[in-house]
């Protein structure tokens, strides 16, 4: 029997209409986000993680509501989206999750500034997943996002990215420098981990209503606090999450938005599955 998984996106999925959706469907989250950030995060969503993460989180939960909070056997989130998935599954109170998202975005932005000149490089094309580890090791970088067989992102010191890009292109891949403010999901985020872990200890966790997969392990969450803290410095194993869901019988993937970034990654990873978006 086929199953359904609901997917929650991470940073980079913002769309121009997402504030309107939040204002219409979840004005409580919009008010709370403005209070926690100190200003409207939607107005500065392109200026870094401090603003983008709470805006995308609110828009994702609004998309979940717009779909009628559909029942599903599984949920998963890409990076930031893990907090959306856990909130939607009832493991976290939504407003507690928003406060964690605001802190996470601020800590990640600050970690990028403290670590210095970090950046990220997307590897695109056939063989990206197979070549990513060797390219990362050879150039002192970390695999940050294993998104699909044709898309992997490396993370680390900016000075190492040009050589890695040249080596990737010599292997027949395309290499694209991403417009981000730090080396996310790499050891350069280490300064954010302790404070985020401490904040996680202060929130109440409940049993989720469905199985939520961790993008750190590509398995169901075991220790939620530990895995969310590890996620700051660990790769997003999204391709493996999709394969694991499919192996568990998932044939229908529902992306709550904003955007359709995750649907595109599912399409590049799995054949003959149904994709639904808010």
Report the share of the chain in percent with pLDDT over 70.
99
pLDDT tens string 230-271: 999 999 999 999 999 999 999 999 999 898 999 999 999 999
Does residue 79 have an active-site annotation?
A: yes
Phi, psi (rounded to 5 degrees) for 207 = -70, 125
For residues 4-13, average pLDDT: 94
Q: Where in the chain is the domain with CATH 3.30.70.250?
A: 117-177
Q: Of these residues, 60, 79, 214, 263, which one is catalytic?
A: 79
What integer best gives the mean pLDDT of the chain? Answer: 95
The sign one gets for the Cα dihedral 111, 143, 104, 25 is positive
pLDDT score, position 278 = 58
pLDDT tens string 137-171: 999 999 999 999 999 999 999 999 999 999 999 99
Q: Where in the chain is the domain with CATH 3.40.366.10?
A: 3-114+186-277
**The two structure tokens encoding residue 157:** 């010191």
How much is the pTM? 0.94
Q: How confident is the model at residue 2 (pLDDT cuts 50, 70, 90)?
A: confident
pLDDT score, position 86 = 98
For residues 193-199, average pLDDT: 97
pLDDT tens string 31-45: 999 999 999 999 999
- Indicate whether 116 pLDDT > 90: no
Q: Is the peptide bond before 157 cis (omega within 30 degrees of 0)?
A: no
For residues 63-85, average pLDDT: 96
Pick the CATH number of 3-114+186-277 from 3.20.20.60, 3.40.366.10, 3.30.1330.30, 2.140.10.10: 3.40.366.10
Dump the DSSP string for the chain: --EEEEEE--TT---TTHHHHHHHH-HHHHHHHHHHHSS-GGGGGGG-HHHHHHHHHHHHHHHHHHTT----SEEEESTTHHHHHHHHTTSS-HHHHHHHHHHHHHHHHHHHHHH-SEEEEEEESTTHHHHHHHHHHHTT-EEEEEEETTEEEEEEEGGGHHHHHHHHHHTT-EEEE---SS-TTSGGGGGGHHHHHHHHHTS-----SSEEE-TTTSSB-SSHHHHHHHTTTS-B-HHHHHHHHHHTTEEEEEE-SSSSHHHHHHHHH-SS-EEEE-
pLDDT score, position 1 = 65
Q: Of these residues, 13, 185, 186, 246, which one is catalytic?
A: 185
Q: How confident is the model at residue 195 (pLDDT cuts 50, 70, 90)?
A: very high
Range 117-177: architecture per CATH: 2-Layer Sandwich (3.30)
- Indicate whether 125 pLDDT > 70: yes
pLDDT score, position 179 = 87
Does residue 246 have an active-site annotation?
A: no
pLDDT score, position 259 = 86
pLDDT score, position 159 = 95
């Amino acid at each position: 029997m086929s199953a359904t998984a609901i997917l929650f996106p991470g940073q980079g999925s913002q769309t121009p209409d997402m504030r309107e959706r939040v204002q219409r469907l979840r004005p409580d989250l919009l008010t709370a986000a403005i209070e926690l950030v100190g200003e409207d995060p939607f107005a500065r969503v392109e200026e870094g993680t401090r603003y983008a993460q709470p805006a995308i989180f609110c828009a994702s939960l609004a998309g979940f509501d717009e779909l009628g909070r559909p029942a599903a056997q599984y949920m998963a989130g890409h990076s930031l989206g893990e907090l959306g998935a856990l909130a939607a599954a009832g493991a976290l109170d939504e407003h507690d999750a928003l406060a964690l998202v605001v802190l996470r975005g601020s800590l990640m932005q600050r970690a990028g500034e403290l670590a210095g000149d970090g950046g990220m490089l997307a590897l695109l094309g056939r063989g990206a997943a197979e070549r990513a580890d060797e390219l990362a090791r050879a150039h002192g970088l970390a695999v940050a996002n294993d998104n699909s067989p044709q898309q992997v992102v490396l993370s680390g010191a900016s000075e190492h990215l040009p050589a890695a890009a040249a080596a990737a292109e010599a292997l027949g891949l395309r290499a694209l420098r991403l417009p981000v403010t730090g080396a996310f999901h790499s050891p350069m985020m280490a300064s954010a981990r302790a404070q985020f872990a401490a904040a996680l200890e202060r929130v109440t966790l409940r049993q989720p209503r469905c199985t939520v997969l961790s993008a750190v392990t590509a398995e169901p969450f075991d220790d939620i606090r530990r895995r969310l803290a590890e996620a700051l410095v660990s790769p997003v194993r999204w391709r493996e999450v999709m394969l694991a869901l499919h192996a568990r019988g998932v044939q229908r993937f529902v992306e709550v938005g904003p955007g359709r970034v995750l649907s595109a990654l599912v399409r590049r990873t799995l054949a003959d599955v149904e994709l639904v978006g808010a």
